[in-house]
Amino acid sequence: MLSLTPTHGLSAERCGNGNDEIFKKFFQELARQSSTNNVLKFYQSGAHFSGDAQYISLPLKLKEPNISVKAPAKIIQRNKDGTLTIEVLLENKKKQMIIEEKDLQGATFNSFVKYIFDPTPEHLAFREALQKKNFSGQAQYIAFEHKYPSGYLQNTPVLARVLEVTDNGDVWVEFFSKGRKTKKKLSESELISARISPDSERLFREHYKKTQAPTPEKETISKPAASSRPHSSSDLPPETQQWLQKTERIKSLYDLSADPETNPYQVFKLSPTAKFNEVKRAYRRAVQLFHPDKRPPHLHPKTQEIADAVMRKLNKAMEKIEKEKKKQK
């Protein structure tokens, strides 16, 4: 493993642009990764480091302080003597250095590293919006890269819309999966790759147009303008009516006025001494109804907003309880 002090290197350039929190989370994720996609074998095969193959996670042992880390690095070139010229990111500074073949032991490919070394203006715009926690207007429409477990080059671009940024910097988005809206919290890698995307805005606007039922011209004269309130139950399809009836019954089993941060058990109307299996049953019962994939299609936007709020509260309460249980182990 390569040993060096944080000041080692031929040059240093400040990196971060006020987004230290994004990088901190990404570095934590690098430390958790296993040594797959062996860079050393790639080097020994004589292959050329180009494209996504330039970007790696490199194990380093720092002398001051005496710790081992996995740092994002970019391979600049293979030199005639067999060494590699690389840039490595330490303490939010890019440092250029020369490494040997033995220094690649344990290094892994990570194409997400390129978004640290070579961000586009769209990536920087996303990070600025995240720093200010202001995703309004076009800034709410983004794209990010999703990585599947197998293969370091199998990143899949996803178009999404930002829904919420929590106090601790978690970003919740919605996107289309199999024709339906799905929600998720962006992972550390996805945050690094996220960028403002006009393509995402077009996708959401086109989908909105498709979901608007055309009104016959003759009916626009005789019928009043559509109300901003949800439709009465008699106007709805049987599937939607049944869903609304179930939500009314199931909401009585939860205390949605409780604060999920200070009193998460009360959200599920359970005692703080309740077993975790009881919490999971209560959570899953609600998810089977309020999760976006379980809702009937074409719900009124106001009803969608209410269901979204319920899911956010349940998720926060569940996350809080899970953290408490882990601390107790």
The angle, 0 to 180 degrees and rounded to 10, between the axes of the packed helices 276-290 and 301-328 is 160
Average pLDDT over the chain reads 76
pLDDT attached to residue 245:
76
Which residue type sits at 222? S
* Nearest of 190, 194, 179, 191 to residue 148 by alpha carbon: 190
pLDDT surpassing 50 at residue 205: yes
Bridge pairing between strands 93-99 and 84-90: antiparallel
The DSSP string of 30-93 is HHH--S-SBHHHHHHTT----GGGGEEEEEEEETTTTEEEEEEEEEEEE-TTS-EEEEEEETTE
Looking at beta carbons, which pairs linking 197-200 to residues 24 or more positions away fall under 8 Å? 197/122, 197/141, 197/142, 197/143, 197/159, 198/138, 198/141, 199/143, 199/159, 200/141, 200/142, 200/143, 200/159, 200/160, 200/161
- Across residues 31-51, what is the average pLDDT? 72
- Across residues 178-184, what is the average pLDDT? 82
Grade residue 34 by pLDDT with cuts at 50, 70 and 90. very low
Q: CA 226 → CA 26, 211, 300, distances in Å?
A: 47, 15, 12
pLDDT surpassing 50 at residue 281: yes
Which are the contacts of 70, defined by CB distance < 8 A and separation ≥ 6? 27, 30, 31, 33, 57, 58, 59, 60
- Extract the tokens encoding 49: 């480091």
Which residue type sits at 86? I
Reported as a single tens digit per residue, the pLDDT across 101-138 is 888 888 888 888 888 888 999 999 999 999 888 888 88
pLDDT surpassing 90 at residue 196: yes
Alpha-carbon gap, residue 161 to 140, rounded angstroms: 5
pTM higher than the cut 0.75: no
pLDDT surpassing 90 at residue 53: no
pLDDT attached to residue 252:
73
Q: CA 64 → CA 3, 37, 166, distances in Å?
A: 10, 29, 35
Looking at beta carbons, which pairs linking 250-259 to residues 24 or more positions away fall under 8 Å? 250/285, 250/286, 250/289, 251/310, 253/282, 253/285, 254/282, 254/286, 254/314, 256/310, 256/313, 258/317
pLDDT attached to residue 212:
58
- Across residues 233-237, what is the average pLDDT? 55
